[in-house]
Amino acid sequence: MARDVSDSTPVGSREELVSWIAAGEKPESRFRIGTEHEKFPFYRADLAPVPYEGRAGAGGIRALLEGMQQRLGWAPIVDDGHIIGLAGPDDVGGAISLEPGGQFELSGAPLETIHETAAELAAHISDVKAVAAPHDIGFVALGASPLWTRGETPMMPKSRYKIMANYMPKVGTMGLDMMFRTCTVQVNLDFATEADMVRKLRVSLALQPLATALFAASPFLDRKLNGFQSMRSEIWRDTDNARAGMLAFAFEDGMSYERYVDYALDVPLYFVKRGDTYHDVAGASFRDLLDGRLTQLPGEKATISDWANHLGTIFPEVRLKRFLEMRGADAGPSDMLVALPAFWVGLLYDGVSLDAAWDLVKGWSAEERQALRDAVPREGLSATIAGRSLGVIGREVLALSRQGLVRRARRDAKGHDESVHLAPLEAILAGDRTFAQELVARYHGEWAETAEPVMTALAF
């Protein structure tokens, strides 16, 4: 998760909440690409997780953040005396933050091209490797932590995570697994108008299960096979269904900013932040905060910060803030981390491909979309909708994405357009085998039915 927003401007009405989202509209010339990814740090010597303060003879998460601060010159983000992230320069953007179990996250700057995204990722990996090397720390990007139990996984000293960890078991069976044992890659994309937002939201929601299949990379948990291709996606099915899911209402007539605001207002709060203090109001209503009737904080009224932070704690498959966030993919190897934004930019930033993608999915019912989402964590590309497999649909959709990127014609120094970054997805669809299935094959083959080798095989 990116850093919390700090804006104490009072909010007095539902209409102001709608206007805040609508202010995200941009002309196409200002569309940008913001890519976020998470990864698990581990000690190379024994594949153990990395606690915040480290262990004898080796630094921990704090040392990594302090090293990155010194290397990049970024501003520290501090919570109760603990450095828990870094903020890039205001004129550049970007941030480094921590997920609850120490997952190290880069929230990338808003960039113009996928080539810039690839360069940003390469620079980040180079930086974290240099900072981690003296501590014998490596990183692995997978959708779920393959080795460590929840009990073995450290907890980061972020106040909001204490509140969430207390609340999660009350609303689902797998919320703590989501917090401590999953990693994702997502891309944040812009919209020009309300109608453009609705069209992009519907297409990306319908096709999010395809992204889950294409990027499936979490077949291990607790040192063994878990029976799923994307355990991360399965975990989300019972994390907190009041704030997750496929947003069936987005396909109904009249979908708008207002309709999303009404949905968000009915999602329970986690916290209200005042100054440096996180007040636990988990389960309370934002509507009560808006009206100054919140029982836990009598008389306190909502601010822009409260609204922005609340929207950031809603977890549907596609999330609307002042941009759209694609949330369906497992983290994976570096080429897959770049392929994710390439896939969605080709579909959503080209009008011809976006129209064609809508034609492909508009006949699917809410029940069919939900059944596909429920099936895909286990079945991957074999999951079906309307009588067709995601493998077949995926080849059509990837062709649309490629065409969109070709039409964008954003070229690198070698003259390649952005479609070059789709290569790993084309390989997956050509072989009709996900990365997760490849890992399972290696587990049964060269790894002699042990999961530990996945850490060193994929480490960077």
Q: List the domain range (segments joined by +) for residue 145.
A: 14-457
Output the pLDDT for position 7: 85
> How many residues are given for the chain?
460
First vs last Cα of the chain: how many Å apart? 22
The answer, as to whether pTM is greater than 0.85, is: yes
Give yes or no for a contact between 200 and 322, defined as CB atoms under 8 angstroms apart. no
Q: Provide the token pair at 169.
A: 């078991």
Average pLDDT, the chain: 97
Condensed to tens digits (0 to 9), the pLDDT of residues 340-378 reads 999 999 999 999 999 999 999 999 999 999 999 999 999
Condensed to tens digits (0 to 9), the pLDDT of residues 59-109 reads 999 999 999 999 999 999 999 999 999 999 999 999 999 999 999 999 999
Query: Does residue 44 lie in a domain region?
Result: yes
Q: What's 362-387 look like in SS3?
A: CCCCHHHHHHHHHHHHHHHHHCEECC
The contacts of residue 71 (CB under 8 Å, 6+ apart) are 127, 130, 131
Query: Does residue 9 lie in a domain region?
Result: no
How far apart, in Å, are the Cα atoms of 23 and each of 321, 322, 324? 10, 7, 13
Phi, psi of 376 (to 5 degrees): -65, -30
Confidence grade of residue 5 (pLDDT, cut at 50, 70, 90): low
Query: Does residue 101 lie in a domain region?
Result: yes
Query: Does residue 8 lie in a domain region?
Result: no
Q: Based on the structure, what is the number of domains in the chain?
A: 1
Output the pLDDT for position 458: 97
Q: Residue 242: helix, strand or coil by DSSP?
A: coil
Query: Does residue 4 lie in a domain region?
Result: no
For residue 1, pLDDT beyond 70: no
Q: What percent of the chain is predicted at pLDDT more than 70?
A: 99
Query: Does residue 7 lie in a domain region?
Result: no
The contacts of residue 218 (CB under 8 Å, 6+ apart) are 142, 143, 144, 146, 182, 226, 228, 229, 230, 231, 232, 233, 330, 436
Query: Does residue 414 lie in a domain region?
Result: yes
Condensed to tens digits (0 to 9), the pLDDT of residues 199-245 reads 999 999 999 999 999 999 999 999 999 999 999 999 999 999 999 99
Supply the CATH number for residue 323's domain. 3.30.590.20
Output the pLDDT for position 102: 98
Output the pLDDT for position 460: 92
**DSSP code of residue 222:** T
Query: Does residue 6 lie in a domain region?
Result: no
Give the β-pairing of 315-316 and 244-245: parallel
